[in-house]
Structures are given as structure tokens and as C-alpha cells.
Amino acid sequence: MAAIKTPALLRRLRQTGCEVRCAATPDAYAFVTPLSLAVAAGGEVLDRDRWFAADGRVRHLEWARWADGLVVAPATADALASAATGRAHDVVSALITAGVPRVLWAPAMNPAMWAHPPVQRNVEVLAELGHAFVGPVRGPLAGAEEGEGLGRMAEPEAIVAAALGLSFDRDLRGVRVLVSAGPTREFLDPVRFLSNPSSGKTGFALAEAAQARGAEVTLVTGPTHLPDPLGVHVEHVVDAGGMLAALSEHFEESDLLVMSAAVGDWRPAERSDRKEPKSDTERSLRLVRTPDILASLAERRRHQVVIGFAMETHEGVERAARKARDKGLELIALNYPAREGVGFGAEENEVTLVRPDGSSEAWQRMSKRDLADALLDRAAALLAERRG
């Protein structure tokens, strides 16, 4: 049923200024009509009946040369298998085999199918070939018996944002990128913990964007509800100590670290091994500092470019600049989670980019994926300068 979103996706792509053409397999017409696709795309649809022109032109080869990228939405298990094995039995697989420069997949299928090992192997093959992925996401699925699960196609807005990212050259090919994301949890006892509302969306967007630009990406994340980004090596941790250990394992071999995790500053001095009973009396909680991850990594730093994040409820450029100087960071993205529309869990962010010398520039509000690519633009320039 994800196919019914395709006309909306085509319209949104055109609204961004993209020139769009649509290709459809025979099965697509079970859900949407050729006319609805043609109207949304603003031109004829390439399908089985129009695969070869009457004058002998081979349309899929022409379209593959014309396109800057191909978005496969919805992407079925069969479509993934066809591309991973080099088949060309329909117009979509033929376009991929004909050499479209960049391919973005928006998978949609039953959760059991998505988790099936051969399907995941095909995803890995395509990711190694440089293909990008957006979704699947958790949400209601077709059929009352399906309920919710990881298999729903990403929404058109998310696919458009990822598709626009395909316009970037793979300028991070060969670069090893390490990203931290999400919150940390410091447990008081087996069921209670200190944490924060970080969703991890910024860090996950950074990992996805870096992978799409050709980087070899490792994502170290605290607890979130987000699915692991495709083509990215992901390590899940819980507390600040675990995050430090995981980042330390990969830092020396990395070229770029983007520290976007909201690491808790404090942990209980003592942790109980059993749940403490409720009482009517007041209790005091003694806290101690968690490890300073950036300071610990700085001791082992050699060639790495390091970008950090800082959160303030009020103006904090001077404090961010001091943090950058003290910890040897190239840049800090200063954001204000108390501002409406850009707080924890929001889809957008609004940051001020701060340098160690105190200079700064305020960036306009943008999606977290756009922010990720903007930061990676700066990182790519810094990496190029370092390499001379």
C-alpha cells in the first residue's frame, strides 16, 4: 500500500525544483494508475509498454544517462534482490543496471520480510556499492493483522530530503567517520535512572548523510527508538562510561569525530543492586561527574577533525568557544533546545556555529538532515586543508 504515496512524493520532488521522470513496474499499477503518476511527474511514465521506442531508441539507457539519481519508492524485497544480483527484468531494475549514478531506496515491506537474512544481505551488498537508504520506519502497516512494526515506508518529506542529499558528490569516500548520538542513562537502581530527552535524530542524520557521501561510518548511540541507519556500523551503549569505551575503540582509526550525543554530566555516587522501596521521607542523592569523553579522547588525538555540540538555554557563544579551545575542537554547533520547534525530539534544529577564536555564525532553522550535510560540508573542507 506504500505505492499510494508515490504521486505525493513526485509532486514534492517537483516542488523543490527537481526535474522528475517516473518509471513504473507492472505491479505498481495494482495500486496507482498510469495517469496519476504521469500527472504527478509532469510527463509520460516509462513502463513495459514504453520501454523501447518505435524508432529503436533504448529508453532505459537514455534515462539512465539523463538522471542524476534514482529513487526507488516503495522498494520491495524483489526489487532489492534484482539490483543486488544485477537482474534487469523490468524498467526499474534495468535503469539501475544501466548505470544510474546514484540510487536511493525507500524500503516498504512486512517486518518479517525486512528482517529476513537474505534481504538484509542484499541491503548490505547495495550499501557496499554506494546505494543510499531512507527507512523503513516503525508505524502502522497495511492489514489489520500487521499492527505496527519496522517495515513502513518513510514519509514523502523524508524521502525528498534524502533524495536531495544524492546531489552531493561522494566527497567523503575513504574517510572514516565516527558519530555519537542519543542520550545516556545513569542508573540509580535496576529500574530508575538519570537521563535527558535526546531523541538521537541529529546524530542518526549525521551518520546517514556521511554514509551517503561515501564515508565509512561508525555510530555509537545511547538508547533511542530509531532504527539503525543502513550501511552504518552501529554500537549501542547505555551510560557515559560505555560511550567512552566504544568511542575510544574506534577513535584512533577515525578521521572525523562528530560528538552529537547528549551525554549526562552526572551519575549517582552509589548504585543500588535492588529497587529501593518508596518512602514518605526525603532522601538526598549524591552525584559525581561522569567521564569527560572529549577530554579523554583529546589525549589520544593525532590527525582527527573533531566537531562537538553544546546546548544552552540562553546565549552561550563565549562558553562554547572556551569549550572548543579547551578540548581542541575545530567547531562547535551550539543549539538551544528550549526554543520552540527545535527542542529535543523535533525534526528541525537551529544552531550557531562557534569557532575556538570566538567567531560565530548563526544558521537558519533547517531540518536535521540538512544540518547534517551542512556540518559535513565544513568537515570535508577541514579534512581537505589538513591533507594539504
| Catalytic residue annotation | 196
**347, 157 contact by CB (below 8 A):** no
Q: Is the bond leading into 136 cis (omega within 30 degrees of zero)?
A: yes
> Grid coordinates in use for 382?
577541514
**134, 105 contact by CB (below 8 A):** yes
Q: Are strands 366-367 and 348-349 parallel, antiparallel or unpaired?
A: antiparallel
- Determine how many CB atoms are found less than 10 A away from the CB of residue 1: 12
**37, 25 contact by CB (below 8 A):** no
Return the closest-CA partner of residue 162 out of 102, 216, 115. Answer: 102
Strand partners, 306: 257
Return the closest-CA partner of residue 154 out of 201, 110, 106. Answer: 106
Q: Are strands 256-259 and 176-181 parallel, antiparallel or unpaired?
A: parallel
CA–CA separation, 252 and 36 (whole Å): 53
For 19, residues 6+ apart whose C-beta sits below 8 A from its C-beta are none
